[in-house]
Amino acid sequence: MNLVELTESIVKSIVIDEDAVSVKEFPTDEENTILIQVIIAEQDMGRVIGKEGRTANAIRTLVQASSQLKDNKYVKINIDKF
């Protein structure tokens, strides 16, 4: 499972509207960095961010740990609503 699929799987397990989840990888100017953009429904924003950002940080930690095992790249995850 690649990092985008892992991120999408985690986010879809949290949200109510799974069909509204969109996860894409974008290139960055930094050499060993991956940017993952997560778009979710506005009503699910609180669920994915969590209290004081704890859920979002947990997602970032899991994906970063997976990256260290495979690609050894730094992962940035942006979460936004549409």
Q: What is the pLDDT of residue 65?
A: 95
Q: Among residues of the chain, what percentage have pLDDT more than 90?
A: 87
What is 3-81's CATH number, 3.30.300.20, 3.40.50.970, 3.20.20.70, 1.10.443.10?
3.30.300.20
Looking at the chain, which runs of residues are DSSP E strands?
A: 22-26, 33-40, 74-81
Is residue 80 scored above 90 in pLDDT?
yes
- Among residues 1, 12, 7, the alpha carbon closest in space to that of 62 is found at 7
Distance, CA of 6 to CA of 31 (rounded, Å): 22
Q: What is the pLDDT of residue 71?
A: 82
Per-residue pLDDT tens for 15-72? Answer: 999 999 999 999 899 889 999 999 999 999 999 999 999 999 999 999 999 999 988 8
Whole-prediction pTM: 0.92
Contacts of the segment 55-63: beta carbons below 8 A, 24+ positions apart: 55/14, 59/7, 59/10, 59/11, 62/6, 62/10, 63/3, 63/6, 63/7, 63/10, 63/36
